[in-house]
């Protein structure tokens, strides 16, 4: 424990607003609230913070903090920094939108796109060994799906270029 009483001061108004901004973003991206809180705190922090810094200032549990940092690391939204003479891990927010977006896309979006692709292929197979009055109509519909799938696949990298600069 830290000897000094207020080594980790409570959050100020500015910090609270910034954190809330990222909490909302996390919500949109279907990430846990705590992930948004932690990223927000690191984003606005002047110095690298360790797990306990985050936990205490955000008033969340050790487990959530550990999990949240893991998720943020998983798509490169934060970086660890080495602090000489300290064996804790310290973190800073990655601020390159390109890096974060492409990490997020690769980790959280691509898998969905991929499994969607597989499912459509499966649907195509089912349809191919089917015959009935509506066969032609169904063929058109599945073709339509395949078309959407292709457009989505092509759009994703372009979107990343667009956002990432």
Partner DNA sequence: CAGTTTGTTCAGTACATTTTGAACATTATG
Partner DNA sequence: CATAATGTTCAAAATGTACTGAACAAACTG
Residue 97 to residues 8, 104, 115, 139: CA-CA distances in angstroms? 29, 10, 26, 41
Residues contacting 22, CB < 8 A, separation 6+? 36, 37, 39, 40, 43
Could you tell me which of 45, 18, 74, 96 has the C-alpha nearest to residue 56?
45
Tell me the β-bridge partners of 49.
91
Between 82 and 129, CB nearer to DNA: 82
Could you tell me which of 67, 72, 65 has the C-alpha nearest to residue 43?
72
- Chain contacts with DNA (rule: CB under 7 A): 1, 30-35, 50-52, 59-64, 66-70, 86-89
Minimal distance in Å, beta carbon 62 to a second copy?
27
Reported as half-sphere exposure (CB side, CA atoms, 13 A), residue 72 has a value of: 30
Residue 128: contacted member of DNA, a second copy, none (CB under 5 to 8 Å, by partner type): none
Residue 66: contacted member of a second copy, DNA, none (CB under 5 to 8 Å, by partner type): DNA
Residue 83: contacted member of DNA, a second copy, none (CB under 5 to 8 Å, by partner type): none
- Chain contacts with a second copy (rule: CB under 8 A): 13-14, 17-18, 20-21, 24-25, 28, 30, 43-44, 46, 95, 97, 109, 112, 115-116, 119-120, 122-123, 126-127, 130, 134, 137-138, 141, 144-145, 148, 151-152, 155, 158-159, 162-163, 165
Pairwise CA distance, residues 66 & 91, whole Å:
12
Minimal distance in Å, beta carbon 164 to DNA?
25
Between 8 and 33, CB nearer to DNA: 33
């Amino acid at each position: 424990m830290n000897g000094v009483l207020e080594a980790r001061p409570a959050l100020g108004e500015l910090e609270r607003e910034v954190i809330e901004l990222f909490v909302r973003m996390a919500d949109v991206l279907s990430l846990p609230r705590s992930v948004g809180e932690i990223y927000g705190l690191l984003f606005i922090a002047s110095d690298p913070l360790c797990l306990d810094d985050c936990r205490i200032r955000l008033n969340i549990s050790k487990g959530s903090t550990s999990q949240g940092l893991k998720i943020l690391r998983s798509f490169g939204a934060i970086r660890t920094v080495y602090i000489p003479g300290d064996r804790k891990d310290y973190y800073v927010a990655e601020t390159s939108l390109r890096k974060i977006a492409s990490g997020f896309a690769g980790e959280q979006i691509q898998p969905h796109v991929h499994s969607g692709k597989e499912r459509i292929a499966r649907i195509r197979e089912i349809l191919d060994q089917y015959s009935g009055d509506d066969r032609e109509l169904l063929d058109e519909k599945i073709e339509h799906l395949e078309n959407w799938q292709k457009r989505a696949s092509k759009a994703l990298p372009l979107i990343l270029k667009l956002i990432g600069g």
